[in-house]
């Protein structure tokens, strides 16, 4: 698979929305070289198609019922989730050699949601699991630099409110928007990706900013800045190629706002160190996996810490 294939599919998972990990985090890529989680500046060749199916799993450190009751007794409204799974289907098409158009559709699953409230300090509410189709994203990439082993691209897109926003818990009560598969909001985003190839080594950097607007249940899930840097090494290339990748993946999230009231236990910053590998064959197929380990977590208020993140998937180009 040509290097340009992963360039599109890389940012097919790049659009992140909502509280960290609740709505899909999407900076992931594919191909014979380049980053796995970060975004590449490469685009698809003219009239070429690329498809990707990817899984992203977050293992969180949930609060015990005793911890949640203690928080509520101090006047805090807190929630807890054990794990989150995002599954993505991404399709991309090369309009020209330097312009690519992509669609991304996620499926979201949140495991064992529970809450405790300051006005009910002696009770933990068990909500169960939430799952469903998430918001569809349409976005384009324009490569404005492609010379001397340098590439740079602009990204511009929009997240549509196509996801489910009426999921109910085990008691039939509607989940709040941060736990819904969809946001109910129209959210534009834009970004920049730059890369440099030096022999068998690739260097990568990307930024993307999403503007969250008010959606379902009068909720603004908060703007998000995704920032990434990475290096790849390709010791074997040809019919069968093997890459080794090391990345830093960061997300900076604003607090969410519900009906004009800011949630103090939302938003923050996380930075992951993410080693990974990719195997590609026949210049068409690619398998990849990346494991993200937190090196810094600075959450606002009281939130679950992240233990680790695993991203894996398969891609193909035609």
pLDDT the model gives residue 16: 40
| The pLDDT of residue 40 | 86
Query: pTM surpassing 0.85?
Result: yes
- Rounded mean pLDDT of the chain? 89
| Per-residue model confidence (pLDDT) at position 2 | 42
24: confidence class by pLDDT, cuts 50, 70, 90: low
Higher pLDDT, 138 or 23: 138
Output the pLDDT for position 25.
Answer: 45
Residue 22: the pLDDT is 63
Mean pLDDT of 89-108: 94
pLDDT at 6 over 80: no
The predicted-structure confidence for 102-136, as pLDDT tens digits, reads as follows 999 999 999 999 999 999 888 999 999 999 999 99
pLDDT of residue 148 exceeding 90: yes
**Where along the chain do its domains lie?**
3-317
pLDDT band at 21, cuts 50/70/90?
low
Is 1's pLDDT higher than 90? no
* Residue 29 pLDDT: 44
| Confidence grade of residue 35 (pLDDT, cut at 50, 70, 90) | confident
Mean pLDDT of the 266-276 span = 96
Reported as a pLDDT band with limits 50, 70 and 90, residue 150 is: very high
Question: Residue 10's pLDDT band (boundaries 50, 70, 90)?
Answer: very low
**pLDDT of 149 above 80:** yes
Please report the pLDDT score of residue 239 as a whole number. 83
Q: State yes or no: pLDDT of 64 exceeds 90.
A: yes
> What was the pLDDT predicted at 28?
42
Express each pLDDT in 183-209 by its tens digit: 999 999 999 999 999 999 999 999 999
Q: What is the pLDDT of residue 33?
A: 53
pLDDT digits (tens, 9 = 90+) for 206-222: 999 999 999 999 999 99
Cα distance between residue 218 and residue 213, in whole Å: 10
Task: Pick the range with the lowest mean pLDDT from 7-21, 54-68, 157-171, 210-224.
Answer: 7-21
pLDDT band at 18 (very low <50, low <70, confident <90, very high): very low
CATH topology for 3-317?
A: Porin (2.40.160)
Q: Looking at the predicted structure, is the pLDDT value of residue 7 above 90? A: no
- Say what the pLDDT of residue 125 is: 94
């Amino acid at each position: 698979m040509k290097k340009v294939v992963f360039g599109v599919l890389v940012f097919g998972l790049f659009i992140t929305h909502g509280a960290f990990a609740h709505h899909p985090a999407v900076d992931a890529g594919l191909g014979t070289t380049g980053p796995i989680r970060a975004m590449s500046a490469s685009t698809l060749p003219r009239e070429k198609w690329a498809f990707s199916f990817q899984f992203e799993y977050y293992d969180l450190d949930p609060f015990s019922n005793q911890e949640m009751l203690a928080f509520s007794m101090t006047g805090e409204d807190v929630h807890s989730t054990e794990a989150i799974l995002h599954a993505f289907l991404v399709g991309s098409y090369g309009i020209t050699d330097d312009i690519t158009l992509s669609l991304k559709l996620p499926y979201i699953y949140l495991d064992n949601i529970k809450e405790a409230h300051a006005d009910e300090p002696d009770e933990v509410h068990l909500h169960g699991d939430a799952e469903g189709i998430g918001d569809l994203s349409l976005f384009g990439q324009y490569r404005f630099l492609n010379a001397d082993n340098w590439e740079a691209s602009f990204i511009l897109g929009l997240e549509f409110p196509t996801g489910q926003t009426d999921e109910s818990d085990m008691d039939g009560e509607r989940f709040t928007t941060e736990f819904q598969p969809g946001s109910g909001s129209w959210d534009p985003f834009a970004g920049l990706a730059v890369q440099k190839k030096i022999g068998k080594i690739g260097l990568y950097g990307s930024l993307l900013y999403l503007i969250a607007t008010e959606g379902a249940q009068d909720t603004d899930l908060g703007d998000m800045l995704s920032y990434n840097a990475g290096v790849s090494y390709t010791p074997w290339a040809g019919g069968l190629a093997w890459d080794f990748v090391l990345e830093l993946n960061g997300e900076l999230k604003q607090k969410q706002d519900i009906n004009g009231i800011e949630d103090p236990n939302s938003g923050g910053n996380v930075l992951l160190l993410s080693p990974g590998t990719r195997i590609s064959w026949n210049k068409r197929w690619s398998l990849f996996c990346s494991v993200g380990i937190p090196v810094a977590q600075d959450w606002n208020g009281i939130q679950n810490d992240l233990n680790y993140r695993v991203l894996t998937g398969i891609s193909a180009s035609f």
